[in-house]
Structure 1
Amino acid sequence: MTLDLTGITTKAALHQLFKEQLGFEDWYGPSWDAFWDSVVAIVEMPPVLTLTNWAEFARCCPRDMRILRQIIEDYAQEMAPKRIVLA
């Protein structure tokens, strides 16, 4: 599965995209803890989730991009062979 992050410039917009496209629960909010819980235990994730055109988000939200990168690393260890990749 591929998610295009073109035009995503806020943490809230990114989490809304995740909620809509990955089928997160109604209670899901813009929180990295909620994202982690959702991807490891609540929804069935695809074998590979590819995030494209992420540079604009990284420029606008550098702190959140660092958190996302750490989550990607942790997810690869916790959920192998499933993975999230930046492309």
Structure 2
Amino acid sequence: MTLDLTGITSKAALHQLFKEQLGFAEWYGPSWDAFWDSVVAIVPMPPVLMLTNWEEFARCCPRDMEILRRVIQDYAEEMHPKQIVLG
């Protein structure tokens, strides 16, 4: 599965995209803890989630991009062979 992050310039917009495209619960909010819980235990994730055109988000939200990179790394370790990748 591929998610195109073109035009995503805020943490809230990124989490809204995740919520809509990955089928997160209605109560899901823009939180990295909620994202982790959702991808690890709540929603069925694809074998590979590719995030494309993420560079604009990284420029606009460098702190959240750093967190996302750590989440991606932790996810690879915890959920192997499933993975989230930047493409």
| TM > 0.5 | yes
- Give the gaps of 5 or more residues in structure 1: none
Superposed, 1:3-82 pairs within 5 Å as 3-82=3-82
% of aligned pairs identical?
84
What is the rounded CA distance, in whole Å, between the counterparts of 1:45 and 1:39 in structure 2? Answer: 6
1:78 partner amino acid? E
- Give the gaps of 5 or more residues in structure 2: none
SS of alignment partner, residue 33 of structure 1: helix
What is the rounded CA distance, in whole Å, between the counterparts of 1:44 and 1:79 in structure 2? Answer: 12
**Over the residues paired in the alignment, what is the CA RMSD in angstroms?**
0.1
1:3 partner amino acid? L
Report runs of 4+ in structure 1 exceeding 6 Å deviation.
none
Question: 1:81, CA displacement in angstroms?
Answer: 0.2
Question: 1:45, CA displacement in angstroms?
Answer: 0.2
SS of alignment partner, residue 49 of structure 1: strand
Question: 1:17, CA displacement in angstroms?
Answer: 0.1
What is the rounded CA distance, in whole Å, between the counterparts of 1:23 and 1:73 in structure 2? Answer: 22
What is the rounded CA distance, in whole Å, between the counterparts of 1:78 and 1:23 in structure 2? Answer: 21
1:55 partner amino acid? E
Question: 1:10, CA displacement in angstroms?
Answer: 0.2
